[in-house]
Structure 1
Amino acid sequence: MATPPPNMEGGPPPVVVQPPGTDMTGICFKDQLWLSSYPLDRNLVFDYFAISPFYDWTCNNEQLRQRAIHPLDTSHLSKMTGTEYMLTEVTEPHLFVIRKQKRDGPEKVTPMMTYYVLDGSIYQAPQLCNVFAARVGRALYHINKAFTTASSNLEKIGYVDPENETAASESRASKETIDFKEFNRVNQILQSLSRKLPPAPPPPPFPEGYVPVPTGEAENGPETQPAGEAQQPPVDPIIDQGPAKRMKY
């Protein structure tokens, strides 16, 4: 008959237990001697978790262990109230997820913390807000670094050494020299494209109710208008159509 794992019948904690609510996300626990002596599966993983500093010895699971009942027996845990641990996800033998929760009734539980056993190492899962804060801080760091690098590169581009300023101006002047052969070639390409394109669309119609001013009256202007009447500003048919119908250039 195989020897039961240590602490199977309960007993004093082998390590110093942290106070409840202590942040232990930076702690990793691994007992290589235990792992080399017993298999890590769904039946013994809780006994392995119980020797870690994450274990709360006042939980309901410990009471079941002292009564020689499997600590993860839900038929007994559902009848109790208080703090308990529940195995929520298993991928033997690499990953085991254990959730600490407070039970107020058979169907009423409140999650408190989550732990996971990854290849024999036990970790406390961080809170979701801490994960978001860490990701945002990392993103801001990389954004700030990118802007710093871009700013330094722009300063190098805009800097001109006074000694080489004359040479730079000469090279710039040589680059700006017009190549007439290239100009003619581009002009021919543009002309051939203009012939292939469809004709320009007709101008937009005048707005409804608009009466164009006769040419004679437009030439006379304010000279032929009676002195008692106020001069009306010329109507722009395009502007009167509203900003949504203005022609864009």
Structure 2
Amino acid sequence: MDGNAAPIPGTDMTGICFRDQLWLNTYPLDRNLVFDYFALSPFYDYTCNNEQLRMRSIHPLDISHLSKMTGIEFMVSEVMEPHLFVIRKQKRDGPEKVTPMLTYYVLDGSIYQAPQLCNVFAARVGRALYYISKAFTTAASKLEKVGYVDLEDENLPHEPKAVKEAIDFKDVKRVDHILTSLQRKLPAAPPPPPFPEGYTPPSTTEGEQGPETEQADPKLPSVDPILDQGPSKRIKYA
């Protein structure tokens, strides 16, 4: 990417990544040179105070000079050489008064913009609501099958049972009514938020597939491990 164009203030740049392999092959990535590497990326703001210090041949992260200035500045807040560097963009209004704006991180030579906390919460809540709505839909459909027996089982001779389990169908109907009411109050399930770019879901074995894998193929029959276990596991009622 071309790092000479200054980013537009307020632009969401979480979907892009910057990496200069030629620079990484030439210079070591450490706390002394990481800011020079960050200045090549499109995340860098050439109107910041750090750039003014660079033009005066002063180290751009010299806090003794930055604390005397006001405006936009960048600071390296966390360092785990040589793999991770966290750079914070902030607005300075005085020697001890700064307001954080955005956060960037350099991970193994690749520079990213960290998402804001509100966007992270919105994505997590949206994904949770999606699966909660799916759970209510599945529960409501399974409750309709409670109390019914396959026709082929009804033709088989009934063996006397020493103990019969009693089920209060009033409770079943009451629970069914509650779930149906809650399902009607919930809005339509939004699609699940996409996974971050470059994320690969962990592979699962055939016997340990998660709920996302089971829902990905609509052609597979949905099997409930409790209520739909086949004719041999169902309770017959006289």
Normalised by the length of structure 1, the TM-score is: 0.59
Q: Post-superposition shift, 1:147?
A: 3.3
How far off its partner does 1:163 sit?
Answer: 4.8
Taking only the aligned residue pairs, the percentage that are identical comes to 77
Q: CA deviation at 1:48?
A: 0.7
The one-character-per-residue Cα deviations of 1:152-183 (angstroms, maximum 9, x if unpaired) are 4444554433454333xx43x533579xxxxx
- In structure 1, how many angstroms separate the alpha carbons of the residues matched to 2:86 and 2:17? 15
Q: Distance in 1 between matches of 2:120 and 2:72?
A: 25
Match of 1:174 among 160, 179, 187: 160
Q: CA deviation at 1:86?
A: 0.7
**Structure 2, unpaired ranges of 5+:** 165-238
Equivalence map 1:1-249=2 (5 Å): 14-167=3-156, 170-171=157-158, 174-175=160-161
* Structure ranking higher in helix proportion: 1
- Distance in 2 (CA, whole Å) between partners of 1:149 and 1:176 is 34
Q: Which moved more, 1:13-22 or 1:99-108?
A: 13-22
Q: Measure, in 1, the Cα distance between the counterparts of 2:136 and 2:103.
A: 38
Across the two proteins, how many residue pairs are aligned to each other? 163
**Displacement after TM superposition at 1:92 (Å):** 0.7
3-state SS, counterpart of residue 174 of structure 1: coil
Contact 2:92 2:99 in 1 (8 A): yes
1:72-108, Cα deviation, whole Å (9 max, x unpaired): 0101111111110011111111111111111111111
One-letter amino acid matched to 1:174: P
Residues 153 and 134 of structure 1: CA distance in aligned 2, closer, same or farther (over 3 Å): same
* Equivalent-residue separation in structure 2 for 1:28 and 1:72 (angstroms): 23
Secondary structure, in 3 states, of the residue corresponding to 2:155? helix
Q: What's the secondary structure of 1:106's corresponding residue?
A: coil
Question: Aligned partners of 2:130 and 2:41: how far apart in 1?
Answer: 35
Give TM-score scaled by structure 2 length: 0.62
Measured in 2, the distance between the counterparts of 1:29 and 1:134 equals 24
Taking CA–CA contacts closer than 8 Å with sequence separation of 6 or more, which of the two structures ends up with the larger relative contact order?
A: 2
Q: Give the CA deviation at 1:56.
A: 0.5
